[in-house]
């Protein structure tokens, strides 16, 4: 029997909803093709492509130069806003990028300095290697200088921790944020599909599909790639909380 | 005339949940005698002696009726401090069960439990107990060694020494030689005749020769009943009850 | 005397308190889990695959994956474990090889699952080129479970009285025949509880599976299961709780896992009871 | 019929071959961990790696010092043992000696279920109740801390300590306790002075096993310990050896990835030491019998 | 249960009965010879030999049983009684033989004046028969009767003695004859004693009380 | 004249690694006799009988020297098929060890092992074996019930029946009654006298009374040496060796 | 080991020796009375009573030992030999008493013609002494000598009988007297038999062989 055609994707956990939705829709259209997505993280997605363990890698950060030099290709699928979130009980409603930088590097240590309660700020971030963290730190210019109280390994952890701690602040993919936490305005702009699309909301990052120059995509993988990049997927992507890049 | 009995038992009955294991046992034990309890398996002999030091308490659903007196103390009294009782009525078990500690600590365990901490006092107790159990010569040079290294017969004598060390009045022995070979058995039987000068010994045995050789009185239990009890020579030469005669002559069952 | 009584009462209280703490912890955990998860535990959750388009979550694939992992890892671990146990209890004479094996088994049972995960990834996913798949996960779990199977079967073999073997041998039965006809039938409970314990570990394991079996949530038929990645229930719990913040779903899965754990213990207890009855 | 002997020998050899799978697995694990972990150590330098106090794997000037992880693992394990062992032994005594009937059945099942609960659930509950609890109780800005990890670990090692200790206590011949009672001791005295010392080697083994489990646990403590590579402090956010691997593995590459394998190697070394210890204790215990 | 032992015990019993019947026969023969003729005298010493033979057999059977079966209670009494009884039985055989021997000396005498002795012999024969009977039936009442009957024999012996003294006085030539008859009478008296002993061992065997002792 | 011995043992020595457990044992066993081996613990009697059916093979590091013949077969022959040997020389152990199966299956185990599958044949074997072991009356109505439900004495007779069922020539018994009460013991001793009509029985016993009551010959072992061997009555009434006399009269040690 | 048993065994031994010495004394007294005077005759019946008392004691001790200690080998032989020996010892006491009784009848006679009997008594006293001695020393050679010496006593008895027949012939009035003397001689002859029995039990006790039997 002929093996069922398949597309395997591997990588960023932030892209789960987007790519999951795309995959589901793709399979609905092409019942003969099996689509798999393995949410392992941007780093492992990239190395998986490199090592040929999957067809398409998924990364929520742009490839760096060395990765491009190793023969990898990136295609931006969508953009994702990184929301700055605090506990629902926190009176602060917005911060500037500078304030964020100062808070995350520990230079502002108390909420009252930014108009909040007299509370030590608890900075919660993601682990090294996380695309969200990379995106946030790149945009706020805080790379390697953030002083985190907690480094959590997933968006869910971050949101859960912040929802439990009135003094916490953290960042998370826009698509994952729920009403258990409060989203702050950054430079006066609340993250939304609109504000991300017109780039008024600054803290955003690309969702990219990574392919290898060394191998041509299988026909089914190419079909998925094309499907994802086609115009008809706009609503799917936005339903999944990201902003279509096309 | 006869001394006062040290243990006096009147119409003692015992039930394990609903089965009656002892039926109206009436018997006296006198000081400084060796008293053998014989009978086939499951006849109630072990149950009976475990009633005397309340070791049956460990089993739930045991119910007793009747009277059992140790001197003037009603053993069955629920308010009785059983640790006191067991200090007075020591026990040696079927399988030698020395604690996995040194010989010295085994013997000193009882006295320590009862509050003796003084080192030289303990030394004396240990030495005397071992001497009484005819074990001093064999162990005096290795008191600090583990008791588990002793032979089966020595272990059993150690257990006797351990029981003696708390200076009980009565020593219960539950088939103390059934796990031992004939030589160790003979040593322990020999010991009995010495020990009875200080203690009252009540010994359960499967071995009729043992009862004959070493006891002053013999009591024959059958199906929870005390069929016959009396002077050992009389019981074995001239039992009053047909069942006793059948049992001791091997014509039973 | 008074001091003795006081000490007795104190120690009794301490012991009782310890036991109470244990029960309390379990009660607390069960309350937490049920309280937070009961609302999300719906038939729809159990019976569907997740749909990103509809935004619904279903754990049917995870249940299936768990069963696949269970099957595959047991198929691997059970024969090896049972045979090893037989060798060690019935054939091995004390010596260098045997102490080496003993040490290896102890080591295997002490290695943290995260190391199994890493090495499983290195060996099965990469070296053997299973990629991230249930096959790699099952192999890793199998190796993790071999010591458990060996130990439980060994324990059970040891409780088969030596006198049975002697009895059979003295009747002129060969060694193999003796083991097959007298020893193993009496150790069947050990083999069963080995299975059950392994099943317990498989269902509750997450760290070793993250890097080897991945955490895909797609439903695949048995025939393709080996080559596909997939999350077991525990991994799904981890993923839903951590990656997606779907705590309701996570606790719903937790309820299921608790129920499974409970059932497994029930089964183990029944086996033990049956054994006791037999004796 | 001399063939019966040869048949026996060949059966034995066949079984041995299968049994050697375990040895092979251990060798495989050891070799692979060395193969994967040694390059980074040689590149970073053993001293810098083990004793370096700073871990910044993704910075432009990466630092790979794992002393914080080592210390955290050691402290965490020690703390868990400190809490878990007394409760564990207490509960074991209760289970093995005092509990009867339904109480015993319930307690046994409770312990079995505790042992069977996936570590993720412990982590989850720890994250949602223990961490805020600690924050409120001690007035901290954040409760995710070494203390939270210790408590979770203590709970997680409880079942194995209780079970093994109870087994050790169960296997103490009933005769010992009877003898002690017959000498006029109270049941509690019998347990403390006779049963526990007699079960010593089993109980110590259970503790060592608990240590092994505590060192090796990853998923649960990752969710409650804050996970920052600080030097350990009771209320600070800390990262363990295991969580260091788990948290960065999925995004890692290059030297960082290799360094993570090196951490795994160190962890493995710890486990081997603990196992060797266990082996020794069990052997000694056996000899004692 | 203990079939082997039971079998040996009943063997012992049978042998004792047999030995007893030999004894009876031996005395009967001797007393017949005394009263009537001497034809059967040779048989007495044959019987004596048989009785001795049996004594040895029974003795060694008893010792074997004591050794190998280590009997207690009734069994022990039976065996130890047997061990003692056979001594008396053997003596009975002996005496009967002695009597026969003496009668042998008297063959040359035609006239015999020994009705008293024959009467005495009758008593002892009864006693022996009854003691053996008591043993067979384990009948203590009968045994007691035997014990009581001894007085009759003792009386009879005194009578015989008086008669013999009178006889000697009447005819001094009968001195040797009288001495022989006295010896015969003495032997019968002894046989009576032996029967009493047997009877008292029967009593012991049944009741455990020996010769008016307190209970063993 | 005398029959040929069924087991002939010449200068048999045995070592466990370096300790010598048997020293130059020379002894014959004749058909249809009960042969008791007595001696204190550790004297080598059990080791000796386990040599006869090669059950010592189970222990590593056992080395033997000398000759042991079963009829014309050298038992020590390393090339010998021990399963055949053990079919001829059956064994009954100290503790009753019925398999945890039905009474029927216990008895049928041996014959099945040796290839008998025919149902009615097996039925016959089982019935005969149980009858020979005087157990048929007690068990004929519950052959399908578990053997574990029998009493200790019945279990031991079941083990005897099981051993008989493979129709051995010799029956080794290693203290077969030491775990039983006096009544069960008496039953088994009784059985011995019946069984010897068909088998040669070699029985190790701690119990001298047992040896006296039930054996034809008695052999006294001491420290691995065969001190004395002969007709039971002679050995017990009139031992040739001082050590034997000391042992049987209880003056030893 | 088995101290209690050892103690009882040695008690048995002592008692036997004591009983033996009573027997010796009883015969000696009776023979002295025969030869010289009758002053000490009363003591014989006292001794007889003592001997009977001891017989009962030893008998019950033996039975007790057989029952409670279940002796084997040498122990069993010793005890069973004792059980048998005491019968003979008791008989010796009996005979001595009978002799004394008869001597009692003779008190009225001034002149006594019984040197042969006194000689015979001498033999038997030696035999009894030696048999007791053999028992004490467990000396089978001495025991054998006793057994062999019986012939002398038998011979002596025949001589006595002849002498008595002669005496009656000489003086028929002495009939009663002669009968009495014959009885005395017969008693001594019996005592010799008893000593032989004791000696043969000594042999059995030591060697296990009784009266030329094959080994037990």
Residues recorded for chain A: 246
Q: Chain E to chain F, count of Cβ pairs less than 8 Å apart? A: 30
Q: From the CA of B233, how many Å to the nearest CA of chain E?
A: 8
Domain count, chain E: 1
Residue G6 counted as domain residue: yes
Residue A1 has what pLDDT?
34
**Of C27-31, C125-129, F24-28, which range is least confident?**
C125-129
Inter-CA distances, D253 with A41, A45, A48, A128, B210, Å: 12, 11, 11, 11, 83
Put simply, the answer to whether B97 touches D198 (Cβ < 8 Å) is no
| Arithmetic mean of pLDDT, F57-74 | 83
Q: Do chains B and G touch (3 or more CB pairs under 8 A)?
A: yes
Taking only residues 132 to 171 of chain C, the set having a beta carbon closer than 8 angstroms to any beta carbon of chain F reads 161, 163-164, 166-171
- Give dist(CA D143, CA G167) in Å, integer: 138
The residue with tokens 């190697």 is D265
Residue E215 has what pLDDT?
41
**Of A156-165, C163-172, E106-115, F26-35, which range is least confident?**
E106-115
**Mean pLDDT value across chain C:** 83
Higher pLDDT, B79 or A128: B79
Residues of E whose CB is below 8 A from B212: 72
Residue A202 has what pLDDT?
82
CB B139 within 8 A of CB B159: no
DSSP string, D177-202: HHHHHHTT--HHHHIIIIIHHHTHHH
Domain boundaries of chain D, sorted by first residue: 67-287
**Mean pLDDT value across chain E:** 79
A neighbours by CB contacts (3+ pairs under 8 Å): C, D
| Arithmetic mean of pLDDT, D251-273 | 84
Put simply, the answer to whether A38 touches C214 (Cβ < 8 Å) is yes
C95 contact F CB<8A: no
The CATH code of the domain that includes G153 is: 1.20.58.220
Mutate to test the interface with G, among F232, F249, F251 (most CBs of G within 10 A): F249
**Mean pLDDT value across chain B:** 86
State the pairing for strand pair F73-74/B62-70.
Answer: unpaired
**Mean pLDDT value across chain A:** 83
| Arithmetic mean of pLDDT, D167-191 | 85
Residues of B whose CB is below 8 A from F181: 40-41, 206
3-class secondary structure, A84: strand
Residue D224 has what pLDDT?
87
- Give dist(CA A131, CA A78) in Å, integer: 14
D99 contact B CB<8A: no
Residue C93 has what pLDDT?
79
- Give dist(CA D217, CA D232) in Å, integer: 17
Instruction: Please enumerate residues of E whose Cβ is less than 8 A from a Cβ of F.
Output: 1-5, 63-64, 67-70
Residue E100 counted as domain residue: yes
Residue F203 has what pLDDT?
92
Residue E156 has what pLDDT?
82
C245 contact A CB<8A: yes
Residue D71 has what pLDDT?
92
D196 contact C CB<8A: no
Residue D3 has what pLDDT?
53
- The residue range of the domain holding G191 is 2-207
Residue E16 counted as domain residue: yes
- Tell me the pLDDT tens digit for each residue of C94-143: 788 888 888 888 888 888 888 888 888 888 887 887 777 888 889 999 99
- pLDDT band of D2, cuts 50, 70, 90: very low
- Tell me the pLDDT tens digit for each residue of E128-185: 888 888 888 888 888 888 888 888 888 888 888 888 777 777 777 777 777 777 778 8
- pLDDT band of G38, cuts 50, 70, 90: low
Choose the closest CB to F233 out of E2, E67, E70.
E67
**Of D226-230, E32-36, G29-33, which range is least confident?**
E32-36
User: Sign of torsion, CA D102 D108 D111 D112?
Assistant: negative
D18 contact F CB<8A: no
Put simply, the answer to whether D256 touches A129 (Cβ < 8 Å) is yes
Put simply, the answer to whether A41 touches D251 (Cβ < 8 Å) is yes
The strand order across the sheet containing F217-222 reads F73-74, F62-70, F7-16, F19-29, F225-231, F217-222, F34-38, F200-204, F170-174, F89-92
Residue B203 has what pLDDT?
92
- Give dist(CA E183, CA E99) in Å, integer: 8
Residues of E whose CB is below 8 A from F186: 1-2
- Give dist(CA D141, CA D143) in Å, integer: 7
Choose the closest CB to G64 out of B190, B209, B233.
B233
F186 contact E CB<8A: yes
Residue D112 has what pLDDT?
84
- Tell me the pLDDT tens digit for each residue of C243-269: 667 778 888 888 888 888 888 888 877
Residues of G whose CB is below 8 A from E66: 66, 76, 80
Choose the closest CB to D227 out of A40, A120, A150.
A150
- Give dist(CA A177, CA D24) in Å, integer: 48
**Of B122-136, F126-140, G149-163, which range is least confident?**
G149-163
Taking only residues 135 to 174 of chain D, the set having a beta carbon closer than 8 angstroms to any beta carbon of chain C reads 155, 158, 162
Put simply, the answer to whether F163 touches C171 (Cβ < 8 Å) is yes
Whether E1 shows a pLDDT value over 50: the answer reads no
Whether A94 shows a pLDDT value over 80: the answer reads yes
Residue G132 counted as domain residue: yes
Residue E110 has what pLDDT?
58
User: Sign of torsion, CA E54 E60 E64 E67?
Assistant: positive
DSSP helix, strand, coil percent of chain C (3-state; round to 5): 80, 0, 20
Residue E87 has what pLDDT?
85
Contacts of G137 (CB under 8 A, 6+ apart): none
- Tell me the pLDDT tens digit for each residue of B66-95: 888 888 888 888 888 888 888 888 888 888
- Distance linking the first and last C-alpha atoms of chain D: 41
Residue E213 counted as domain residue: no
- Give dist(CA F118, CA F105) in Å, integer: 14
Task: List, in order of start, the domains of chain C with CATH numbers.
Answer: 38-278 (1.10.3720.10)
Whether D146 shows a pLDDT value over 50: the answer reads yes
- Tell me the pLDDT tens digit for each residue of E78-98: 888 888 888 888 888 888 888
- Tell me the pLDDT tens digit for each residue of E104-114: 777 666 566 66
Mutate to test the interface with D, among B83, B115, B117, B129 (most CBs of D within 10 A): B83
CB E147 within 8 A of CB E196: yes
G neighbours by CB contacts (3+ pairs under 8 Å): B, E, F
- % of chain B beyond a pLDDT of 90: 11
Taking only residues 208 to 237 of chain B, the set having a beta carbon closer than 8 angstroms to any beta carbon of chain F reads 208-209
Whether C24 shows a pLDDT value over 50: the answer reads yes
Q: Is the ipTM of this complex over 0.85?
A: no
Put simply, the answer to whether A128 touches D58 (Cβ < 8 Å) is yes
B neighbours by CB contacts (3+ pairs under 8 Å): D, E, F, G
Put simply, the answer to whether B86 touches D198 (Cβ < 8 Å) is no
Residue B1 has what pLDDT?
42
- Give dist(CA C108, CA C106) in Å, integer: 5
Put simply, the answer to whether A153 touches C242 (Cβ < 8 Å) is yes
Q: Do chains G and A touch (3 or more CB pairs under 8 A)?
A: no
Put simply, the answer to whether F233 touches E3 (Cβ < 8 Å) is no
Put simply, the answer to whether B84 touches D184 (Cβ < 8 Å) is yes
Residue E215 counted as domain residue: no
- Give dist(CA D193, CA D172) in Å, integer: 12
The residue with tokens 């629902």 is A88
Q: Return the CATH number of the domain spanning residue range D67-287.
A: 1.10.3720.10
Residue E45 counted as domain residue: yes
Beta strands in B45-145 (DSSP E): 62-70, 73-74, 89-92
Residue E8 counted as domain residue: yes
How many of the other CB atoms lie within 10 Å of CB of A69? 9
| Arithmetic mean of pLDDT, D86-108 | 88
| Arithmetic mean of pLDDT, A236-242 | 80
């Amino acid at each position: 029997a002929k093996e069922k055609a398949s597309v395997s994707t591997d990588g960023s956990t932030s892209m789960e909803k987007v790519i999951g939705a795309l995959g589901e829709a793709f399979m609905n259209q092409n019942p003969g093709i099996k689509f798999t997505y393995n949410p392992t993280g941007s780093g492992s997605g990239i190395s998986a492509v490199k090592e040929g363990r999957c067809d398409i890698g998924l990364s929520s950060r742009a490839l760096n130069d060395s990765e491009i030099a190793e023969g990898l290709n990136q295609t931006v699928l969508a953009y994702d806003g990184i929301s700055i979130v605090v506990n629902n009980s926190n009176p602060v409603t917005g911060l500037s990028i500078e304030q964020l930088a100062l808070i995350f590097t520990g230079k502002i240590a108390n909420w009252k300095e930014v108009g909040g309660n007299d509370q030590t700020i608890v900075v919660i971030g993601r682990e090294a290697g996380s695309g969200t963290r990379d995106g946030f730190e790149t945009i706020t210019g805080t790379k390697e200088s953030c002083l985190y109280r907690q480094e959590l390994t997933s968006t869910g952890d971050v949101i859960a921790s912040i929802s439990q701690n009135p003094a916490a602040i953290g960042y998370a993919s826009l698509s994952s944020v729920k009403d258990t936490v409060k989203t702050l305005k950054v430079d006066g702009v609340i993250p939304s599909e609109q504000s991300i699309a017109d780039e008024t909301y600054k803290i955003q990052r690309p969702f990219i599909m990574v392919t290898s120059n060394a191998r041509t995509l299988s026909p089914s993988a190419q079909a998925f790639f094309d499907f994802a990049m086609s115009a008809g997927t706009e609503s799917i992507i936005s339903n999944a909380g990201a902003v279509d890049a096309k | 005339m006869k001394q006062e009995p040290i243990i006096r038992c009147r119409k003692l009955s015992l039930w394990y949940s609903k089965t009656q294991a002892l039926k109206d046992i009436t018997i006296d034990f006198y000081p400084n005698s060796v008293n053998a309890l014989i009978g086939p398996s499951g006849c109630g002999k072990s149950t009976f002696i475990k009633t005397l030091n309340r070791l049956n308490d460990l089993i739930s659903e045991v119910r007793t009726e009747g009277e059992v007196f140790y001197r003037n103390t009603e053993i069955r009294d629920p308010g009785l401090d059983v640790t006191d009782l067991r200090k007075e009525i020591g026990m040696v078990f079927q399988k030698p069960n020395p604690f996995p500690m040194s010989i010295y600590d085994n013997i000193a365990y009882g006295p320590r439990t009862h509050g003796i901490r003084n080192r030289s006092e303990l030394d004396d107790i240990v030495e005397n107990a071992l001497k009484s159990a005819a074990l001093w010569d064999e162990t005096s040079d290795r008191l600090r060694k583990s008791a588990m290294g002793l032979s089966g017969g020595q272990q059993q004598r150690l257990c006797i020494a351990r029981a003696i060390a708390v200076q009980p009045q009565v020593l219960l022995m539950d088939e103390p030689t059934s796990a031992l070979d004939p030589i160790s058995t003979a040593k322990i039987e020999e010991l009995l005749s010495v020990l009875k000068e200080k203690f009252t010994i009540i010994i359960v045995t499967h071995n009729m020769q043992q009862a004959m050789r070493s006891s002053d009185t013999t009591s024959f239990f059958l199906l929870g009943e005390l069929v016959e009890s009396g002077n050992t020579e009389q019981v074995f030469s001239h039992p009053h009850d047909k069942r006793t005669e059948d049992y001791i002559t091997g014509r039973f069952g | 005397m008074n001091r003795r009584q006081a000490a007795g009462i104190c120690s009794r209280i301490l012991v009782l308190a310890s036991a109470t703490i244990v029960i309390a912890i379990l009660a607390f955990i069960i309350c937490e889990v049920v309280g937070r998860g009961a609302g999300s535990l719906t038939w729809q959750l159990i019976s569907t695959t997740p749909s990103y388009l509809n935004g619904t979550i279903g754990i049917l694939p995870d249940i299936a994956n768990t069963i696949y992992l269970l099957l595959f890892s047991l198929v691997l671990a059970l024969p090896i474990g049972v045979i090893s146990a037989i060798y060690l209890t019935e054939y091995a004479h004390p010596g260098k090889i045997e102490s080496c094996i003993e040490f290896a088994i102890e080591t295997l049972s002490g290695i943290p699952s995260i190391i199994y995960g890493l090495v499983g990834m290195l060996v099965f996913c990469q070296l053997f080129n299973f990629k991230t798949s249930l096959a790699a996960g099952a192999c890793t779990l199998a190796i993790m479970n071999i010591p458990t199977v060996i130990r439980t079967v060994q324990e059970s073999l040891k409780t088969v009285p030596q006198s049975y073997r002697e009895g059979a041998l003295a009747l002129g039965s060969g060694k193999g025949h003796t083991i097959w006809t007298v020893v193993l039938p009496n150790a069947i409970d050990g083999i069963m509880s080995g299975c059950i314990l392994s099943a317990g570990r498989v269902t509750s394991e997450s760290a070793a599976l993250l890097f080897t079996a991945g955490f895909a949530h797609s439903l695949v038929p048995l025939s393709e299961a080996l080559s596909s990645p997939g999350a077991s229930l525990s991994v799904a719990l981890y993923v839903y709780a951590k990656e997606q913040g779907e705590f309701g779903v996570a606790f719903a899965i937790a309820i299921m896992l608790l129920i499974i754990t409970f059932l497994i213990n029930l089964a183990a207890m029944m086996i033990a009871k049956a054994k006791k009855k037999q004796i | 019929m001399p063939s019966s002997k040869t048949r026996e020998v060949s059966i034995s050899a066949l079984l041995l071959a299968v049994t050697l799978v375990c040895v092979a697995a251990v060798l495989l694990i050891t070799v692979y961990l060395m193969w994967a972990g040694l390059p980074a150590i040689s590149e970073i330098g053993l001293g810098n790696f083990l004793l370096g106090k700073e871990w910044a794997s993704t910075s432009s000037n990466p630092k790979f010092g794992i002393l914080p992880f080592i210390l955290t693992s050691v402290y965490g394990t020690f703390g868990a043992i400190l809490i878990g062992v007394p409760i564990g032994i207490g509960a074991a005594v209760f289970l093995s000696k005092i509990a009867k009937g339904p109480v015993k059945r319930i307690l046994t099942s409770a312990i079995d279920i505790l042992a069977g609960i996936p570590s993720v659930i412990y982590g989850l509950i720890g994250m949602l109740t223990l961490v805020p609890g600690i924050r409120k109780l001690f007035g901290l800005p954040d409760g995710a801390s070494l203390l939270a990890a210790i408590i979770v670990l203590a709970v997680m090692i409880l079942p194995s300590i209780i079970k093994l200790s109870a087994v050790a206590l169960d296997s103490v011949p009933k005769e010992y306790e009877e003898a002690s009672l017959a000498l006029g001791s109270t049941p509690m005295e019998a347990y403390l002075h006779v049963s526990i010392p007699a079960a010593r080697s089993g109980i110590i083994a259970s503790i060592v096993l608990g240590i092994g489990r505590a060192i090796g646990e990853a998923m649960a403590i990752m969710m409650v310990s804050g996970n920052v590579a600080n030097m350990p402090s009771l209320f600070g956010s800390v990262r363990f050896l295991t969580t260091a691997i788990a948290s960065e593995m999925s995004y890692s590459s290059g030297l960082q990835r290799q360094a993570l394998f090196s951490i795994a190697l160190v962890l493995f070394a710890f486990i081997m030491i603990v196992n060797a210890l266990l082996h020794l204790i069990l052997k000694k215990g056996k000899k004692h019998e | 249960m203990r079939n082997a032992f039971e079998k040996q015990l009943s063997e012992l019993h049978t042998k004792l009965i047999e030995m007893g019947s030999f004894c009876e026969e031996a005395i009967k023969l001797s007393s017949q010879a005394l009263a009537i003729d001497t034809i059967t005298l040779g048989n007495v010493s044959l019987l004596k030999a048989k009785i001795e033979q049996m004594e040895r057999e029974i003795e060694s059977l008893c010792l074997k049983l004591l050794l190998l079966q280590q009997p207690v209670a009734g069994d022990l009494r039976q065996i130890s009684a047997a061990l003692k009884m056979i001594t008396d039985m053997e003596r009975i055989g002996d005496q009967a033989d002695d009597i026969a021997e003496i009668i042998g000396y008297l063959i040359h005498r035609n006239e015999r004046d020994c009705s008293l002795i024959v009467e005495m012999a009758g008593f002892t024969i009864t006693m022996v028969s009854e003691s053996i009977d008591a043993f067979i039936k384990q009948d203590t009442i009968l045994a007691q009767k035997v014990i009581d009957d001894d007085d009759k024999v003792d009386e009879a012996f005194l009578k015989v003695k008086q008669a013999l003294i009178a006889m000697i006085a009447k005819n001094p030539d009968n001195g040797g004859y009288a001495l022989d008859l006295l010896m015969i009478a003495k032997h019968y008296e002894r046989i009576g004693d032996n029967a009493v002993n047997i009877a008292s061992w029967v009593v012991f065997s049944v009741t455990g009380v020996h010769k008016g002792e307190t209970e063993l």
